[in-house]
Amino acid sequence: MKPLVHLTFTACLVLVLSLVPAAATQDPVKLVEQTSARVLDKLREDPERTRNDPEFLYALVDDIILPVVDVQGMSRLILARHWRTATPEQRERFTTAFQNMLMRTYTLQMAEHMDKDIRVLPHRSRQDDRMASVATEIVMGQGRSNIPVIYSLRPVDGEWKIFDLTVEGLSFVTNFRTNFGAEVERHGLDALIERLEAGDESLIEEAVQADVGASR
């Protein structure tokens, strides 16, 4: 996978890591503004540990990222009509396997991008009682263009949770829906789940490479 692709999605995960659970009545923009620096600072306060202690990074994911992402909702949107025909066991297996695959693929790369900053853009963000979109950009530095990222959130059990992100106009959920849907059509849902459970990172790579191709 190309370095810029890894950088973009890893930097997005860093921002996700900066969101802590909060009541759904809290403004999502303020939530991002107040907490993104906190977690980035935590990653940077001990660079040696961040680079060399995988358990430290996995603990951050377990403690902070999972509570603020609507993993089941994201999985439901990605599988689309295949979710409706899936058994409860298939739904649970897919959700767990997809979550684990993403974490394995990107978590350990966070150390490579501790120098990136996140800029929140309140004037481009939107919110109502049912949904919020928080506009941000990854500050690349060194004369490179910033990368626009929009986070889509909705209240789940009284807390704002992320269910999609859009990078340079391309939806994470839509892209995986297209690629995973094609895989299900060719080989069936069980085959897709088995590849995810086996840690077949080519599934993620194929989806992201297709994303890059679509952006050109």
> Could you give the 3-state DSSP secondary structure of residue 31?
helix
The pLDDT value given to residue 165: 87
> Could you give the 3-state DSSP secondary structure of residue 15?
helix
Which residues of the chain are modeled with pLDDT < 50? Answer: 1-6, 17-25, 212-213, 216
Work out the number of other CB atoms within 10 angstroms of the CB of residue 139.
14
The pLDDT value given to residue 16: 54
Q: Where do the H-state alpha helices sit in the chain? A: 3-17, 28-45, 47-52, 54-60, 66-68, 71-79, 81-85, 88-106, 172-187, 189-197, 202-215
The pLDDT value given to residue 129: 85
* pTM for this model (two decimals): 0.81
